[in-house]
Structure 1
């Protein structure tokens, strides 16, 4: 029998325990009763970022971006499409590096957009530059596979 996964609620940030087999069953939060997966990226603040990165047992893909960045705005629809294809196996977050400067500094984000993949609280891969939806999905799946094979 496999250990339950910890999944952070995108609405109330409660940590839920869920079997891997139930990920695709449209699970709901035990605290707020809202869906755990919305098939769209979640905009997070510094505090919420830390909770999702540190407490989630599924991989977390983060788009570090800024509102003034043209390539970031161009990539936003592709990131949305990628979320529809990657969830519930991967949680997608967006971090505005202007409003969460501490997170950008902590992870040494020097160019945007930058995608970073986290697994069990640790950054395992990074990709700077805008990508299309297919590229985001392919890159993420390859990085998850490589990180879990280690």
Structure 2
């Protein structure tokens, strides 16, 4: 799978089975999964199809005030939980077909995926405590054998 480094923006090829091994960027050496991955529709489709780790996607738009206010909260959660859960963002303004495909009706919308299946979604900007609770629930649900 190809993952764009959230630190230096370089593209890295990572085998799906290595996602749980805390892969690092080949260019800057920073961990690939301790930041928010900015994706387009194709990259999101590839990630959801290939990832063995759960994926939390923030569907947002640059003109959305709540989306911009929520971004630092989402980034902080990615730094804290990035090795167990992939955090990704998709700009629905730039990727309108993806917004339609995933039936995004309001932004921000957080959608949780695991092994290609959507597990649930939440609309609206979450405060840090609620995002932490959501992440905890996702990890508890997806870590079961």
TM-score of Structure 1 vs Structure 2, range by shorter chain: 0.7 to 0.9
Structure 1, residues 99-123: CA drift from partner, whole Å, max 9, x if none?
A: 1111111111001000001001111
Residues 54, 123 of structure 1: CA spacing in aligned structure 2 closer, same or farther, 3 A cutoff?
same
Please, what is the CA RMSD of the aligned residues? 2.2
Structure 1, unmatched stretches of 5+, are: 1-6
Does 2:64 match 1:69?
Answer: yes
In the alignment, the residues of structure 1 paired with residue 19 and residue 72 of structure 2 have an alpha-carbon distance, to the nearest angstrom, of: 31
Residues 111 and 128 in structure 1, CA contact (< 8 A), matched pair in contact too: yes
In the alignment, the residues of structure 2 paired with residue 104 and residue 42 of structure 1 have an alpha-carbon distance, to the nearest angstrom, of: 17
Match of 1:99 among 89, 94, 98: 94
Q: Which residue of 2 aligns with 1:4?
A: none
Does 2:45 match 1:46?
Answer: no
- Say how many residue pairs are matched: 138
Q: Which residue of 2 aligns with 1:139?
A: 134
Q: Compare 8-17 and 127-136 and name the one that shifted more.
A: 8-17
Match of 1:28 among 4, 24, 39: 24
Displacement of 1:73 after TM fit? 0.7
Displacement of 1:39 after TM fit? 1.8
